[in-house]
Amino acid sequence: MIEWNDTERAVSAAVREFVDREIRPHRDALEHGDHQAGGVNPYDILRKLYGTFGLDVMARESFKKRIERERAAATGTPAQAAAETRETVPEGADSFLTLALIELCRVSPGLTTALGVSLGLAAGTIMSRGTLEQKERWGGDLLSLDKIGSWAITEPDAGSDAFGGMRTTVRRDGEGYVLSGQKTFITNGPFADTIVVYAKLDDGATAWRDRRIMTFVLDSGMPGLTQSPPLRKMGIHASPTGQLFFDDVRLTPDRLLGSADDTAEAGRGSARSNFTTERIGMAAMALGVISECLDLSVAYAKERTLWDKPIGDLQLIQLKLANMEVARMNVQNLVFRAIEMGRAGKKPSLAEASAVKYYASQAAFDVAMEAVQLFGGNGYMAEYRVEQLARDAKSFLIYAGSNEVQITHIAKDLLRREGSR
């Protein structure tokens, strides 16, 4: 795939029209409003997006068919079930979400973050690791956006060292478990209905760093669970971020994802799979920011005059624009590659996902900062949108694993190889 096809261009145009009508007018409210005190609720906007394009109905129908297949397979008739409930994916549907993420990110990367974590991480973990009953209990509501999910692994002392530094624990209590500890920087944490939590099993014997990582699903309002108000952040303000506190939260066995007898590596493997998904998604987010910054910069270079001529006539300005376009082309190619791999049923390795995240996030940040520089003093003012995009793009270098961590994943993979691929 070297370019968007006609269907994808039509989808992109339709989503852009929705964004221009329903999101751009509320950009300041999303950026500065209080979601709890009459401000614009980001989840209402995302649900309206889903409703406008019928994604909520599609999600429910697709979920129903998947559950029917899995139930039939469990009773010993998988071939018949697959034949009777096979889904027909219309052209362009597999890339719709990618296109939506790009368009959302042109205006509000925070909305993209909130949507991606709820769907890709919270729902994704439950749908990949959960039992049929667990999927029915939580999965459908998350996939349709009827409920919002969060994915909780980061802690105050366990960011880059997510597994080794983890201090949130579960201990066995009869047939169930008791959860204690806290998580921080949790996207959707303040308002999530469903929370996927990673914790270490406190078995009292195994060395701390080697203890099993277990995954549980919590519901808001459970005794002992506290969801903090939104934290104040530098950017991506449309994505509420908070802390979670677990004060001896009692968990029944049906909240455990996976088996109580899973190996020590199972929980880590689940998280790594989600890291891969999250990091690949950064390419689409970065492309949205880069495209918007480039469009704004080209328009400004034509309009702004210096010494009685447009600043676009100056070679240093032309250099900035050219570098932005090269970044756009490169990141778009990474997006195309991710779409093609998905269509072929392939999943990138963690190292490949890290390479995508590392390059795309740095490119988006560099372009956004160059846009601010091109706008000069105006670029530093909130009235000019490149100021917000630059703050938002900075987060790309940090979340989904800091770029310093991505470098170690890439380098370690290279050093394990015997030659280039």
pLDDT digits (tens, 9 = 90+) for 147-205: 999 999 999 988 778 888 899 999 999 999 999 999 999 999 999 999 999 999 998 88
Dmax (CA) of the chain: 80
DSSP strand E in 188-321: where?
Answer: 194-201, 213-219, 225-227, 241-251, 256-257, 305-306, 309-310
> Model confidence at 249, in pLDDT bands (50, 70, 90)?
very high
Check: CB of residue 212 under 8 Å from CB of residue 201: yes
What number of CA atoms fall less than 13 Å from residue 146's CA on the CB side?
Answer: 12
> Model confidence at 404, in pLDDT bands (50, 70, 90)?
very high
C-beta atoms surrounding 367 within 10 Å: 29
Collapsed DSSP state (helix, strand, coil) of residue 244: strand
88-132 per-position pLDDT tens digit: 333 444 578 899 999 999 999 999 999 999 999 999 999 999 999
Looking at residues 300-323, what average pLDDT do you find?
97
Pairing relation of β-strands 194-201 and 176-187? unpaired
Angle between helices 350-375 and 386-396 (to 10 degrees): 160
- Please state, in angstroms and as integers, the Cα–Cα distance from residue 252 to each residue in 94, 123, 174, 213, 321, following that order: 37, 20, 10, 17, 57
Report which of 326, 315, 398 is spatially closest to residue 367, judged by C-alpha positions: 326
Q: Give the pLDDT score at 188.
A: 97
- What distance in Å separates the CA atoms of residue 295 and residue 289, rounded to the nearest whole number? 10
Check: CB of residue 12 under 8 Å from CB of residue 4: yes
> Model confidence at 256, in pLDDT bands (50, 70, 90)?
very high
- What distance in Å separates the CA atoms of residue 293 and residue 139, rounded to the nearest whole number? 36
φ, ψ dihedrals at 267, nearest 5°: -65, -40
Check: CB of residue 213 under 8 Å from CB of residue 268: yes
Q: Give the pLDDT score at 90.
A: 37
- Calculated CA dihedral for residues 320, 322, 325, 327, nearest 10 degrees: -70
**With pLDDT > 90 as the criterion, what percentage of the chain qualifies?**
75
For the chain, how many helices (H) and strands (E)?
A: 15, 10
Report which of 4, 2, 16 is spatially closest to residue 91, judged by C-alpha positions: 4
Alpha-helix residue ranges (DSSP H) falling in 3-77:
6-22, 27-32, 42-52, 55-74
Angle between helices 315-343 and 264-303 (to 10 degrees): 140
φ, ψ dihedrals at 24, nearest 5°: -55, -45
